[in-house]
Structure 1
Amino acid sequence: MACNFLGYSTLWAHREIKQRGERYDALRRIPAHVAIVNNDQALNKNSLMSLLEIALVENIRRLTIYDAANDYTDLACEVRMFCRSKHIKLVTGCANFSDDFSSYRLFVQLLSSNSGRSTLVETCRELSTSEDPITTNDITAHLASKFSLLEPELLIQVGAIPSLSGYPPWCLRVTEIVPVRSLPCNRFAFEECLEAFNKRDIRLGK
């Protein structure tokens, strides 16, 4: 009888753990758009593909990677076949991408230093030519339409230096920023960032 009780206790514990995990997954907020500011070692083919795989598993729709010290144009070419096989759209730099991305599982944008504050300066310069008052919505819409710069819900700031390194500041007005020491290239590390994001209060004001 004692053995049966222990057996049932073990089964109950496993069931309870599973149900708690399912309840957590149901309540967990998954950011549709995640940005990564890399102040650490440059990405390579393996680390980039790992990040893309994790983003797919976590059902993230848009991933922006900003690195002020490196240009990833060549790296984008290296992973082109991988992205095609996974239905990932990968672009470099800021431009007006008019294609329909609904057929892709993930949209990835690789940005460097020339995609930083200068885009905001150019936006303000162009909008200032109009006689109409400039609103926050005007700036946000211009950055999205001309430079394809959207506001991420979560930004993962990578490296020992707590700096955003010139990431377009306007796009971070309501973004939750989670600092980490190194790139979250495995699922456990990435899920820790998502867990930190879920513990933050949702900021609705802009």
Structure 2
Amino acid sequence: MQTISFSKKSVTYKIQSDSKSLKKLPTHVGFVVVEDEFSFRDLANLIVWSVSLGISYITIYDINGEIKRNSLVLLRNIESSREEIMSQEKTNYDIQIVSSSHPVSSQSSSGSCKAQRVKVHLLCVEDSHSKIISVAQHLCHLVSNGAYQVDDITPSNVDTFLQESLQFPDPDLCIKFGSVDCLFGYLPWQIRLTEFISLPSHKGVTYKSFLSTLVQFGNTNQRFGK
């Protein structure tokens, strides 16, 4: 198999050029891993590519929470991947891994005191269930206190409370990795307007394959219901 090597500088410039050429860029991209084994280096590459392209919110989901439990392993791989891919990047980034297990942060070594913050949320099926249960309990509490009437509870209200609870916007794009055609509970309430694209596996995923999903996303005309 032939491999093509690029200097760190040329990789940085290529990603910056690709970002400008895309018709649109998702604010929030979700990666749903429906596979039995995980490559933390490949997941780290996906995160670093996303950050380099200008994506501000990232979620990584696996049903059992294996990635979430290994957030520190992922962080180490992010730091290594960033050194290879973003060492010539002038922007200072603070990549925050948000996980109930280990909230950790990877900050670039630039001397600048201001950093562009990018949040990476690690999720599993328990998070999807617990957030909905928490919002339901909160609404019940509001009704019992007389602050809300039962008729006041609408999908819009539930959506607002979920947004406040999750603290990130709904995903514009979700990339599913694996042969099983199922999301296994990934953010069930937040994906009504999400564009879905599937790839065979996250293991060995290339920048070219990732970029092609963003090109496909950019060429999609989203139709919003009434």
TM bucket normalised to smaller:
0.7 to 0.9
Q: Which has the larger radius of gyration?
A: 1
Superposed CA offset, 1:162-200 (max 9, x none): 101011211001111112211273211111111221222
Change in 2 beyond 3 A, CA 1:83/1:25: closer
CA distance in 1, matches of 2:155, 2:195: 19
CA distance in 1, matches of 2:127, 2:32: 12
Change in 2 beyond 3 A, CA 1:67/1:149: farther
Superposition pairs of residues 112-127 of structure 1, within 5 angstroms: 112-127=124-139
Tell me, what secondary structure is at the counterpart of 1:47?
Answer: helix
The answer for the alignment partner of 1:148 in structure 2 is 167
The answer for the alignment partner of 1:205 in structure 2 is 225
Which of these residues, 55, 59, 62, is aligned with residue 60 of structure 1?
55
Change in 2 beyond 3 A, CA 1:78/1:200: same
Q: How far did 1:26 drift?
A: 4.4
The answer for the alignment partner of 1:160 in structure 2 is 179
Q: Report the AA paired with residue 224 of structure 2.
A: L
CA RMSD of aligned residues (A): 2.8
The answer for the alignment partner of 2:108 in structure 1 is none
Tell me, what secondary structure is at the counterpart of 1:190?
Answer: helix
Q: Is the contact between residue 19 and residue 53 of structure 2 (CA under 8 Å) also seen in structure 1?
A: no
CA distance in 2, matches of 1:173, 1:65: 18
Q: Is the contact between residue 42 and residue 70 of structure 1 (CA under 8 Å) also seen in structure 2?
A: no
Which of these residues, 94, 97, 106, is aligned with residue 87 of structure 1?
94
Which of these residues, 36, 41, 53, is aligned with residue 46 of structure 1?
41
Q: Report the AA paired with residue 179 of structure 2.
A: A
Q: Report the AA paired with residue 46 of structure 2.
A: L
Aligned length: 178
Change in 2 beyond 3 A, CA 1:203/1:52: same
Tell me, what secondary structure is at the counterpart of 1:151?
Answer: coil
Tell me, what secondary structure is at the counterpart of 1:169?
Answer: coil
Q: Is the contact between residue 93 and residue 112 of structure 1 (CA under 8 Å) also seen in structure 2?
A: no
Q: Report the AA paired with residue 193 of structure 1.
A: T
Q: How far did 1:93 drift?
A: 4.2
TM-score of the superposed pair, with normalisation by structure 1? 0.73
Which of these residues, 202, 207, 217, is aligned with residue 187 of structure 1?
207
Q: Report the AA paired with residue 44 of structure 1.
A: S
CA distance in 2, matches of 1:48, 1:40: 13
Structure 1 residue ranges without an equivalent (≥5): 1-21, 95-101
CA distance in 2, matches of 1:144, 1:42: 31
The answer for the alignment partner of 1:11 in structure 2 is none
Q: How far did 1:43 drift?
A: 2.9
Q: Report the AA paired with residue 35 of structure 1.
A: G
Percent identical across equivalent pairs?
Answer: 24
Q: Report the AA paired with residue 50 of structure 2.
A: A
Greater helix content: 1
Change in 2 beyond 3 A, CA 1:195/1:137: same
Superposed CA offset, 1:91-110 (max 9, x none): 1149xxxxxxx943421000
TM-score of the superposed pair, with normalisation by structure 2? 0.68
Q: How far did 1:49 drift?
A: 1.6
The answer for the alignment partner of 2:104 in structure 1 is none
